[in-house]
Amino acid sequence: MNREWKRSFYYKLLEGFPFQPTPGQKLALQGLTIYCGDGKPNTIFLLKGFAGTGKTTLIKSLVKTLPQFNRSAVLMAPTGRAAKVMGNYSAKQAFTIHKYIYQLQTDRLGRMVFRLRPNKARDCLFVVDEASMINDQLGEYNNSLLSDLMQFVAQGKNCQLLLVGDTAQLPPIHSDQSPALDVNHLLRHYSFEASEIELTEVMRQEENSVLLLNATRLREIQSQLPYPQPVFQLGPDVIRLQNGNEVEDALNEAVSQVGREQMAIITRSNKKANLYNQQLRMRVLWQEDEISVGDFIMVVKNNYTALPDNHQAAFVANGDILELLEIYEYIELYDRRFARVKLRFSDLEAEPFETLIFLEVLNYEGASLSWEEQKAFAAVVAEDYADLPTKAERMLALKENPYLNALQVKFAYALTCHKAQGGQWQRVFVDHPWRPADGPLDLDFLRWLYTAFTRASERIYLLGFPDEYFD
């Protein structure tokens, strides 16, 4: 593009800012202007930035500006919750990556498999937020999510990719770094050149936030060796809770003021999350039944059969949060317990749907049923089909068995930090995990703390943190 186009584009981006941009934001705007104007194939722009540095303001201005220059934008994020947050701040619909770039098909053996959709877009900028969560490991999509995302964008006509994220957050599980935010990794493994800008200056509008002050400290000490002990400053939006009565009172207040959908308890283990979920339902929500109408539950394993044909969501993804609308019946079969229920997506505008949920997974200590347990369950179900004449018929019957395919869910009030990543709640309660008294601090723990702090949009409560964390 010519110089005049870039100049006009840059000043339109500036007009989209509600305040004077920081020097770092101006550099980012200049970099994005050059990237969008040059339109080079097989290139990516990385916009990295810590909490409070104005990434969301910049994206909102960009999304508003692009149509004025005959460009379009598609917004995506790794999870439904992250896509909802992105849609709210940008005032434009956002999608989950996997539901936008994949389509569900049946292979020759009758198995449900994912294929990459054809990308029919042209002159489009694909903007992906929370890119620190995007993994680079082979999974059920055959290729890694990162690889498929880049391949999908490259298929379009004059399409480009903007990855937005925070390197101080937790990387994907089983990874030491966030591959989607690593320029050298992208070049080495994918032959994609990447331009990058990192925002580090906290915006003036955020400077009075004690919550953000603490998050900034946690980010800063990640670059100091040896890692110093984090020391938190308390304030109206950062509160220390020192006993069970204080915790219960604060939870009651949160439920009454913002509702159960806008509060979350963050733990470091599934076992601790289960305990909090049980106690919160009994002592705060006064729910004595195993499940109740109004409960929020989180899917812990992808499910491709729970939804009716042509449903807007295509499938139910690991991490999706659902609200329980109706309970039709409880069922005991194959020595296991199920419930037939009606659910709605909490983070997606879509029709409610009826399905079976696997009740025993609600308080299961693992993330979801292990492969061994799933295999043992399938063996029990297979006895029903022993009289079918061929192996193919028996396999098809197993594939279509509704109980074997029941939705695996847990309660969504308390969750691990990896499950919470990408989401945001008005009130967040952070449970201090067990650590050896004389054990050194490590980067993973500091990232865990930083990620937990940055899940709160209004107020954070610190549960069980020892005295050394405070002045």
Domain annotation for the chain: domains and CATH numbers: 3-203 (3.40.50.300), 206-290+414-469 (3.40.50.300), 296-410 (no CATH)
Q: Is the pLDDT of residue 1 over 70?
A: no
Q: What is the pLDDT of residues 275-294, one digit of tens each?
A: 999 999 999 999 999 999 99
Q: In the structure encoding, which two tokens stand for residue 60, read together?
A: 């909102």
The confidence score (pLDDT) of residue 76 equals 98
| Banded pLDDT at 85 (limits 50, 70, 90) | very high
| Banded pLDDT at 298 (limits 50, 70, 90) | very high
218 — alpha (psi -120 to 50), left (phi > 0) or beta? Answer: alpha
Q: What is the pLDDT of residues 104-128, one digit of tens each?
A: 776 666 666 788 999 999 999 999 9
Q: Is the pLDDT of residue 141 over 70?
A: no
Q: What's the rounded mean pLDDT across residues 320-341? A: 97
Q: What's the rounded mean pLDDT across residues 92-102? A: 93
Which positions ≥6 away from 439 have C-beta within 8 Å?
none
Q: Which residues pair with 77 in a beta bridge?
A: 96
CA dist 39 and 71 (Å) reads: 11
Residues listed for the chain: 471
Which residue did the predictor score with more confidence, 137 or 340? 340
The confidence score (pLDDT) of residue 190 equals 86
Strand blocks (E) in 245-370:
263-267, 296-299, 321-333, 336-345, 353-358
Q: What's the rounded mean pLDDT across residues 167-196? A: 91
Work out the number of other CB atoms within 10 angstroms of the CB of residue 400: 11
Q: Is the pLDDT of residue 267 over 80?
A: yes
Q: Is the pLDDT of residue 45 over 60?
A: yes
CA dist 14 and 5 (Å) reads: 14
Backbone angles phi, psi at 326, to 5 degrees: -150, 150
The confidence score (pLDDT) of residue 435 equals 81
Which positions ≥6 away from 95 have C-beta within 8 Å?
74, 75, 76, 77, 83
Q: In the structure encoding, which two tokens stand for residue 210, read together?
A: 């004690």
